[in-house]
Amino acid sequence: MTFGKMYQAAIILAVLLGFSGLSIAQDDRLKIVVLGDSLSAGYQLPPDQAFPVQLQKALDDNGYNVEVVNAGVSGDTTSGGLSRLDWSVGPDVDAVILELGANDALRGISPVKTRENVDEMVRRLSERGVEVLVAGMLAPRNLGDDYAAEFDPIFKEVAEAHGALLYPFFLEGVAMVPELNLADGIHPTGEGVSVIVENVLPDVEELIARAQSS
């Protein structure tokens, strides 16, 4: 083989190895799906201010090799999340942040049904070996004390039953703070989402650690 051909072969090999290394690096990325509703999907926000995008940036800044996927659907209930669970959370997913339940409460859906749906989603994901962080929700107090007493404990109790992680209230530090919410008083602004990301980040890091060790 001439020197020229050897040089060309070396270049081709280097390129192939480079692409191979890139592919391996991409395959090694841990994949997290945020399965939620408008609160996590980024309702009325610029795309770069949605929860999954801001969470991705925070994890990137902390050196994590993670891909965060936005599987939020505005208006979705726990029934809707359950019905789309399998195609929203594919076989390549390592972990899920489950943020559903707010619309159940807003529509006055029976907490019994909400519990059944959340439990079924966490159970099915856990059986697949997918680590889960349950993001809890609180019922609006205008629904009455009895409804709140039945709704509020759902997320903690389901998480405990399946050994999943729990972030007790997704809107912690943001709910009822006017400057952190849109005019509707329900959905967080971009700044509000930043507060949520900062608060939930330690729990997401624990979720990543679990997924990496499983």
Q: Which residues are catalytic?
A: 38, 184, 187
For residue 205, the one-letter residue type is E
CB 53 within 8 A of CB 47: yes
Q: How far apart are CA 86 and CA 83, in angstroms?
A: 8
Spatial strand order in the sheet of 30-36? 66-72, 30-36, 95-99, 131-135, 165-167
Q: How far apart are CA 187 and CA 177, in angstroms?
A: 11
Q: How far apart are CA 167 and CA 50, in angstroms?
A: 18
**Strand 95-99, strand 30-36: pairing:** parallel
Q: Where are the beta strands (DSSP E) in the chain?
A: 30-36, 66-72, 95-99, 131-135, 165-167
CB 82 within 8 A of CB 101: no
CB 134 within 8 A of CB 98: yes
